[in-house]
Amino acid sequence: MKNKELKILLSAPRGFCAGVERAIEIVEKSIQKYGSPVYVRHEIVHNKFVVDDLRNKGAIFVEELEEIEDKTRPVIFSAHGVPKKIPQDAKNYNMTYVDATCPLVSKVHREAENLHKAGYHLILIGHENHPEVIGTMGQLPKGSIDLIQNESEANNYDPKNFEKIAYVTQTTLSVDDTKEIISILKEKFSNIREPAKEDICYATTNRQMAVKNIAKKCDLFFVIGSRNSSNSVRLVEVAKKSGCENSILIHSQSEIPFNLIENSNIIGISSGASAPEILVENFIKELKNKFTVTIEEVEIIKENVVFRVPKKLN
């Protein structure tokens, strides 16, 4: 079996984006500054390996502030962002909090608020119950923002008589997913206002472009990432749509499908924006145990974005 030759096309960029790196650094620096435990509301990023690592360093993960027994300890808000009432609740509890919301998500929050103040009724294109969607909708009063998840919801969308309508999008969607929905909305509402700059984040777009670039050359495509990671799940969809029907998400409970790999000559590998590179390395190591592997990294763009951590942690 070992003699089977396997070519790996390694998609680049892949893995951690600047927002995820910043969020993890915020938790680590908070533990250094305040000692442990520090609390984190919701998984800081959607990756079990990262969450377990931070838990071992002294972070305690909760879903709601009410669960925090010792309210003298600091709490960190996850990279996905939180509804407006959460920081307010933390203040009411006299809690110290650090906001690790990705700056690109914060940009969408500010955009939504400004449009609302300017008298627009908002549409958010995104997935229900995703923490980022809950956070963005939670910036505005109830009834002033509607969620649209797919083309049929866009077709059926019939708002009350709003003079001014605008849309924003979840940052981790695929450009292709939103394109159809946006064109339906533009057809229905010729005066709909769009974001001044694309809401979908640079890292999501870059990772999807990198996957598109190699998927059609692959017999099998693997995306390393968590099942609840929106951008990882989108990468699998992008690989399928781009010509590699056999595209699979590899998460913490996954068995490596060696039987499928055995029948492949070229496999593609990428990883979601919240997946650390060590998971990719471990996956490749497993393959090297069974196959004669050659690796070609295919990079389409260099990323040099860095987001600073809040001043109070320096």
* DSSP code string of 11-56: EES-S--HHHHHHHHHHHHHHHHH-S-EEEES-SSS-HHHHHHHHH
What DSSP designation does 307 have? Answer: -
Nearest to 29 by CA among 63, 54, 10: 54
Of 185 and 314, which is predicted with more confidence? 185
Which pLDDT tens digit goes with each residue over 7-48? 999 999 999 999 999 999 999 999 999 999 999 999 999 999
pLDDT at 63: 96
pLDDT at 198: 80
pLDDT at 160: 77
The pLDDT of 76-87, averaged and rounded, is 96
Query: In 108-119, which positions are buried (b, 16+ CB within 10 angstroms) versus exposed (e)?
Result: bbebbeebbeee
d(CA 246, CA 217): 12
pLDDT at 175: 82
Alpha-carbon distance values, 87 to 97, 142, 171 (Å): 8, 18, 21
The pLDDT of 88-116, averaged and rounded, is 96
pLDDT band at residue 68 under the 50/70/90 scheme: very high
pLDDT band at residue 200 under the 50/70/90 scheme: confident
Q: Residue 3: is its pLDDT beyond 90? A: no
d(CA 230, CA 220): 21
Helices (H), the chain: 18-34, 48-57, 85-92, 103-117, 131-137, 151-156, 175-188, 202-215, 230-241, 258-262, 277-290
Q: Residue 75: is its pLDDT beyond 60? A: yes
Task: Extract the tokens encoding 264.
Answer: 């492949």
Which residue out of 5, 113, 132, 245 is catalytically annotated? Answer: 132
Residue entry with tokens 């692959």 = 218
Q: Residue 191: is its pLDDT beyond 60? A: yes
Identify the bridge partners of residue 92 per DSSP, sorted by sequence position. Answer: none
Say if residues 23 and 45 touch (Cβ distance below 8 Å): yes
The pLDDT of 103-125, averaged and rounded, is 96
pLDDT at 2: 57
Domains and CATH numbers, the chain: 5-16+202-299 (3.40.1010.20), 18-99 (3.40.50.11270), 103-200 (3.40.1010.20)
| Mean pLDDT (the chain, rounded) | 95
Identify the bridge partners of residue 295 per DSSP, sorted by sequence position. Answer: 8
Question: In the chain, what percentage of residues exceed pLDDT 70?
Answer: 99
Report the 10 Å Cβ neighbour count for 124.
Answer: 22
pLDDT at 57: 98
**pTM, to two decimals:** 0.93
Tell me, yes or no, if 296 is annotated catalytic. no
Instruction: Report CA 143 to chain centroid distance, whole Å.
Output: 26
Q: Residue 161: is its pLDDT beyond 80? A: no
d(CA 238, CA 47): 20
Nearest to 22 by CA among 309, 314, 214: 309
The pLDDT of 190-214, averaged and rounded, is 92
Sign of the dihedral through C-alpha 272, 23, 300, 9: negative
Task: Extract the tokens encoding 135.
Answer: 């956070």
pLDDT at 6: 97
Dihedral angle computed from the Cα positions of residues 294, 299, 305 and 306, in that order, rounded to the nearest 10 degrees: 10
Least reliable range by pLDDT among 12-16, 48-52, 132-136, 192-196: 192-196
Q: Residue 248: is its pLDDT beyond 80? A: yes
Residue entry with tokens 């009432």 = 85
pLDDT at 240: 98
Report the 10 Å Cβ neighbour count for 100.
Answer: 27
Report the 10 Å Cβ neighbour count for 2.
Answer: 8
The pLDDT of 165-191, averaged and rounded, is 92
